Structure 1
Amino acid sequence: MMFLAASLPTSGPVVSALSTVSKFLGISASIAAVGSLLAAAFLLEDEKGKLSASALRLRTVATWSSGLWIIAATGNIIFTLANILASPLGAVFDFNTIKSFVTQITLGQYQFFQLTAATFVCLFVSRIHKVGGAIWFLAITTLGIIAPLFQSHSATSGSHALAIGSLCIHVMALSLWVGGIFALALLDPKERAIAVPRFSSLALWAVIAVVVSGSANAWARLNFASAWHSSYAIVIIVKGVLTIGLIVIGYMHRKNLASKKFSEINWNKFYQLIMVELSIMIFALALGTWLASNKPPSPGADPKFNAAITVAGLPMPQQPTLSRILFSWNPDALFIGFLILAVALYVRGVVILRRRGDRWHVGRTVAFAFGIAGIDFATSGGFGVYAHFAFSYHMISHMILGMIAPIGLVLGAPITLALRTLPQGRTEAERGVRGTLISALHSRLAGFWVNPVVALLIFDGSLFGLYFTSLFGGMMQSHTGHFLMNVHFVLAGFLFFHVIIGIDPNPKRVPFLARIVVLFAAMSIHAFFSVALMSSTALVDHGYFAQLHTPWVSDLLVDQHTGGALGWAMGEIPILIALIATFIQWVRDDKRETKRIDRSAERLAAMGQPDELAEYNAYLATLTQKD
C-alpha cells in the first residue's frame, strides 16, 4: 500500500482531471444505455409486446455501456474521496474508508446508488424480452444517472430547489435526446426509417426541456453580474451556442422528414447529419462534465452560517400572513417540470380529441387543472415555502397533496384521456404505446395496487410509518427526502381516490358498498392519527424544526398539536366529499342498470320472448306449485 501511495498522484490537478474524465465516461456510457433502452422500448416496433430482433440486439449495447458505466462510477467514487480527503489515491484504497464514505456520507451514498444501478443493468438487462422490461430498466438507468445530482454543486446554490430540480430535468431530457441520437446511429437504414418519426416527436419535447431547464439552472448559479465574467459562465455560453446548433440540425431533420416521403429520403445523408449531430453532442457533454466538476462562481466572501439555507435550502420567510402565503413562491423545479409535462400531455390529448370531433367534458379539464394548481401551491407556493419551517404548515401542505389535489386529478380522468389519444401500434403485430398502457392496467401488479385494502393501507397506514418513526425527521433533512415524501403523498392520494371515486378504467370493479366501508375506515383511521398527534408529548420531527430556530414559532409542541388539528379538519372534509360522490355514483349506476333492464325487457317483449323478470316470476310460481 505504501508503494501504491507513492506511485499514484496526490489529490490535486491530476486527480481532478481524472475525476472529470471519469465523470465524462460515466455520463456518456449511461446515456448510451438510455438510448439503447429507449429505442428498444418505444422507437422500434414490438411484436405483441415482445422485443423485436433489432431491440434484442440493443440489449448487448446496453450491457456493454453499463459495464463501462460501472468502471466510471467506481472511479468517480475513488477520485471524489481522494479530493475530499486531500490524500494520495493509494491512501484511498482502504476498505473501511470507502465503506464509511458510501454508507455514512450523503454524496457517497448517492454515488454508490449510481454504481448499484449500473451494476444491476449490466447484469440483468440481457434477460429482458418484453417492452415492459425495457421500460423498467430505462427508469432504473435514469434514476442512476440523476442520483448524484442531488449532492452536486447545485445543492449549495441559494436557489436550492430550483438549481437541483432544473439540473435533474436538464440531465434527464439530455439523456433521452442524446441517447436517442446514439441509438439511431446504431440502427440500419430500414430500422432507422421506422424509429425516426417517433423519435422526432420525443426529441422536440426533450429539446424544449433541455433549453428551459438549462436556462433556469444557469440563472440559479449565475444570478449576479460579476458571475458572467468568469470562465464558468463562458463555458455555459459556449454550451448554449452548441445547443442552438443542435436545435438547427434537429429542425433540418424535421423539415426533411415533413417535406418528403420516406422512400424519397436520402438515408445516407441523413446518417451523416446524425453523426455530425452526435459529435457536437459529445463535445457539449464534455463541457457539461467540466461544469459539473467545478464550483460556480461565488458573489463574494463566504456568507455566515445560515441555518435556514443550510438545513431547509431557502431563506427564513417572514411571519406568515395571508398575503405572504398567497404570493410567496420558491420554485421546486423538479415538481414544476413534472407538472408542466402533465399539463402539456393533457392539453395535447384534449386537442387531439377536439380535432377529430370527439367530445371531452370541460369539467374534467377544470378538475385536472385544480389538482395541478393544488400540487404547485403546496410545493412551490406559499404553503410549500412555510412547510419547511413549521409543522402546522407542513401538515396543510400534506393535506393538499394527499387529500385535495388528488381528487381533482382523479376526476380529470387522465388515464381515459390517454387511452383515447395515445398512438396505437404501427403494424397489426405491434402493441404500441396505447397497448402497453392497457397491458399495464390489466397486469397482476396493477390489480394488486387497486385493491381497496392495499390502497387504504398506503393512504392511511403510511401516516403512522412516517410520523411516528424517525423517517419524517430524516426525510425533512434533505431535498431528496422531502421531494420523495411529497411524491408519496400525491401518489397515495391518487391511488386511494382512484379506487373510490375514479372514473378511469379499473382492473377490478369495487362494489359501492365496499367503497363506503373503506371510506368510513379511512375516516376513522385518519381521526385516530390526528388525535394521537394532538395528544403527543414528544416532537415527531426529531429535532428538524428546532435547529431552524423559526422566530415566529414560539412552541414547537403546540405547533405540532395545531398541525394535528388542521390535519384532522382538512382530512375529513375530502373524505366526506368522496363519500357523497360515491353515493351519487351508486344512484346513477342503479339508474343505468334499471334502464338497461327495461330496454332488455322491451326488446324481448317485442320479439315475443319473456324477459328476466317474467322468467323469475315463472320460476317462483313453479316453486309454489311444488310446495
Structure 2
Amino acid sequence: MGSLPAPGAGAAFTDWTFTPVADVLAVAVTLVYLLLVRHLRLSGTKWATGRIVSWCGAMATLVIALDSSIGVYSDSLFWVHMLQHLILIMVVPVLLVCAQPVRLLHLVRVAGGAADEPVRAGVARRVLTSPITAMVLYAAVLVGTHLTGFQEVMTTHAWVHDAETVLYLVSGYLLFGPLLGHERWPWQVPYLLRFGLLAVTMGVDTLVGVVLMLNEHALAPGFALSHPSWGPGALADQKTAGAIMWFGGDGLMMVLMVITAIEWGQIANENKGLGGWLEGIRMRELLGDEAMSIGDNADGEEVDLDQRALDAYNANLAALHRSGGEVTRGRPPV
C-alpha cells in the first residue's frame, strides 16, 4: 500500500474502501437486532430507544473504522493503524455493551413463554466472562499485537489482520460487559471493583504507548516498508502511534472511570454499592435478574424491590409449608 497517494483535505469523505464480510455482517446483525426490538415491543415490553441508538452507533463506528480513510491508510501508517485499534477495542465494544444485546435476547425469550430466571452459567462460561479473565485477555491482546512480532506477521498474512479485528472486538466486549451499564451478565461486579479494574486496565494502555514511544528501532520492519514516501519516517510513525495509544487509550479509559464514578455516586440505595453486594445477590435469588432491573426497562416506573422481595420470601415459605417442609424458627425478617 506504499503507492497510496497523500490524503487530501476531503479524504474523510472521498477515501473509502469496502470490507465485504464485515459490512454484510454489520447490516445483518443490525436487522436482527431491530427485528427483535420490534417483536419485544409488540409483546408489550418496552425497550429504550437509547439502546437502539447505541447498537446502530456501534455498527456505524465499526464500518467507519474498517472502510473509511482510517481503514484505507491503516496498513500504510502505523499511527492510523493504532487509531483503528482504539476504535475496535474500546469505542465499538462500549457501544455494544450499552445496547445490551444479551438482555434483549433474554427478554424476547421471556416474551415467548420462557421462564424469567436469573443468569445461571456453568464453570466454563463464568471463567470466560470473569472480569479478571477479561482484563488478562485485554492486556495480552494489546501487548501481544504491539510489542511482539505480530505486526510483522500481519504484513504478510491477510487473515491475521482479519483475526486481529475479531480479537479486538471480542476482548473489548468481554472487558466492558461486566464493568459498564446493566447488561445481563453472569457476574455482578461492585462499583468499587469496576473502578479499580478500569484503572488497572488503563495501565496496560500506558505501558504499550510508552514502550512504542521510547523504542529507538522499528518493531515491525515489514510494516515500515509499506510507508508511503510522503508519510513520516518509520520511527516517527511508531512514536506517534505510541502517543495515540498512551494519551488516547488513557483518555478514553478515564472517561469511562468518570462515568462509573458518577453512576456510583448517584446510587440512591446503598444496597447497590459494595456494602450491599451480598444483599443484591440475595434479592436476585428471590426476584430474578430481570426483576432487579425492571426499573431500567420501565422508563422511570418506580418499583419497591424490598416489598417484592418480602412477597417472594413469604411465597417461598408458604410453598415450603404446603410441601411439609420445616421452617426454621427465629429467622430474621426480610
CA displacement at 1:464 relative to structure 2: 1.4
* Contact 1:455 1:499 (8 Å CA) reproduced: no
Residue type at the aligned position of 2:50: G
> 1:382 is aligned with what amino acid?
S
CA deviation after TM superposition for structure 1 residue 592, in Å: 7.1
**How far apart in 2 are the matches of 1:406 and 1:424?**
27
TM-score (norm. length: structure 2): 0.76
Give distance in 2, aligned partners of 1:354 and 1:424: 10
Kindly indicate whether the alpha-carbon contact (under 8 Å) linking 1:330 and 1:381 is maintained by their aligned counterparts in 2. Answer: yes
Q: Is 1:318 the equivalent of 2:5?
A: yes
Q: Deviations over 1:46-88 (max 9, x none)?
A: xxxxxxxxxxxxxxxxxxxxxxxxxxxxxxxxxxxxxxxxxxx
Change (3 A) 1:422 1:322: farther
Distance in 2 between residues matched to 1:566 and 1:554, nearest whole Å? 15
* Residue from 140, 156, 175 that aligns with 1:461: 140
SS of match in other structure, 1:465: helix
Alignment-mate amino acid for residue 43 of structure 2: R
Cα distance in structure 1, aligned partners of 2:176 and 2:16: 28
Residues in 2 aligned to 1:404 and 1:414: alpha-carbon distance in whole angstroms:
16
Structure 1 322/415 Cα, relative in aligned 2: closer, same or farther at 3 Å?
farther
Runs of 5+ in structure 1 lacking a partner? 1-307, 309-314, 605-627
Total equivalences in the alignment = 282
Q: How high is the TM-score relative to the length of structure 1?
A: 0.42
The correspondence for 1:545, drawn from 206, 220, 224, is 224
Determine if the alignment matches structure 1 residue 505 to structure 2 residue 184. Answer: yes
- Report deviation, 1:590: 4.5
Any conservation in 2 of the 1:477–1:544 contact (CA below 8 Å)? no
Distance 1:423 1:470, change over 3 A: same
If you compute each CA radius of gyration, which structure gives the higher value, 1 or 2?
1
Q: Secondary structure at the match of 1:510?
A: coil
Matched, 1:451 2:130: yes
Report the equivalent of 1:207.
none
Residue 599 of structure 1 deviates from its aligned partner by 5.5
Mapped contact 2:52–2:99 kept (Cα < 8 A)? yes
Distance in 2, matches of 1:598 and 1:506, equals 20
Paired residue for 1:376? 63
Check conservation: 1:470, 1:542, Cα contact below 8 A: no
Q: Distance in 1 between matches of 2:79 and 2:147?
A: 16
Change over 3 Å in CA distance of 1:580–1:554 after alignment to 2: closer
Deviations 1:292-351 (A, max 9, x none): xxxxxxxxxxxxxxxx3xxxxxx8432124521343211111111221121011111111
C-alpha distance in 2, partners of 1:424/1:408? 25
Distance in 2 between residues matched to 1:533 and 1:596, nearest whole Å: 51
Decide whether the 8 Å contact of 1:465 with 1:471 is kept in 2. yes
Give the helix-richer structure, 1 or 2.
1
> Map of 1:151-300 to 2, 5 A cutoff?
none
Cα distance in 1 between the residues matched to 2:235 and 2:162: 25
Residue in 1 that maps onto 2:84: 397
Give the deviation of 1:523 after TM superposition: 1.4
| 2:179 match: secondary structure | helix
Q: How far, CA to CA, are the matches of 2:157 and 2:78 in structure 1? A: 16
* Aligned equivalent of 1:489: 168
User: 1:343 is matched by which residue type in structure 2?
Assistant: T
- Could you say what secondary structure the match of 1:367 adopts? helix
Q: Distance in 1 between matches of 2:165 and 2:155?
A: 10
Letter in 2 for 1:412: A
Between the aligned partners of 2:140 and 2:165, the Cα distance in structure 1 is 16
Q: CA deviation at 1:586?
A: 2.3
Offset of residue 549 of structure 1: 4.5
Contact 1:523 1:575 in 2 (8 A): yes
* Residues 592 and 341 of structure 1, relative CA distance in 2, 3 Å threshold: farther
Q: 1:586 aligns with which of 230, 240, 264?
A: 264
Secondary structure, aligned partner of 1:358: coil
1:338: which partner in 2? Answer: 25
CA pair 320-422 structure 1, distance change in 2 beyond 3 A = farther
CA shift, 1:425, in A, is: 8.5
Q: Distance in 1 between matches of 2:261 and 2:106?
A: 27
Q: Which amino acid aligns with 1:371?
A: A
Amino acid at match of 2:157: S
C-alpha separation in 1, matches of 2:111 and 2:28: 21
Q: Could you tell me the percent identity over the aligned residues?
A: 23
**In the alignment, which of 199, 204, 207 is matched to residue 528 of structure 1?**
207
Residue 350 (structure 1) aligned with residue 28 (structure 2): no
Asked if 1:574 is matched to 2:261, the reply is: no
Q: Is the 8 A contact 1:534 1:564 kept in 2?
A: yes
Q: C-alpha displacement at 1:522, in angstroms?
A: 1.1
**Residues 132-143 of structure 1 mapped to structure 2, 5 A cutoff:** none
Which deviations, in whole Å up to 9, do the C-alpha atoms of 1:471-505 show, x marking residues without a partner? 22112322211111011111111111112104211
> Which residue number in structure 2 is paired with residue 115 of structure 1?
none
Q: Which residue of 2 aligns with 1:359?
A: 46
The alpha-carbon deviation at position 582 of structure 1 amounts to 1.6
Equivalent residue letter for 2:48: H
Q: 1:407 to 1:588 in 2, by over 3 A?
A: same
SS in 2 for 1:329: coil
Q: Distance in 1 between matches of 2:102 and 2:303?
A: 26
Cα separation, 2, equivalents of 1:399 and 1:409: 15
Q: Which amino acid is the alignment partner of residue 359 of structure 1?
A: K
The one-letter amino acid of 1:351's match is R
**3-state DSSP class of the match of 1:543?**
helix
Contact 1:500 1:578 (8 Å CA) reproduced: no
Q: Secondary structure at the match of 2:242?
A: helix
The one-letter code of the counterpart of 2:39 is: I
Question: What CA distance in whole angstroms lies between the structure 1 residues aligned with 2:232 and 2:257?
Answer: 38
> What is residue 242 of structure 2 aligned with on the other side?
564
Change beyond 3 A, Cα 1:349–1:568: same
Cα-Cα RMSD: 3.1
Unaligned runs of 5+ in 2: 273-301, 312-334
Q: Distance in 2 between matches of 1:321 and 1:510?
A: 47
Please give the residue correspondences for 1:24-39 in structure 2 after superposition, counting only pairs within 5 Å. Answer: none
| Distance in 1 of aligned mates of 2:111 and 2:36 | 14
Structure 1 residue 456 displacement after superposition: 1.1
Q: Deviations over 1:567-598 (max 9, x none)?
A: 22221222122212222332344537489999
Confirm or deny: 8 A CA contact 1:387 1:394 kept in the other structure: yes
Distance 1:329 1:422, change over 3 A: farther
Distance 1:466 1:504 in 2: 28
Distance, in Å, in 2 between the alignment partners of 1:554 and 1:573 is 25
Matches within 5 A, 1:103-122: none
How far apart, CA to CA, are the structure 1 residues paired with 2:221 and 2:132? 31
Aligned mates of 1:587, 1:342 — CA distance in 2: 35
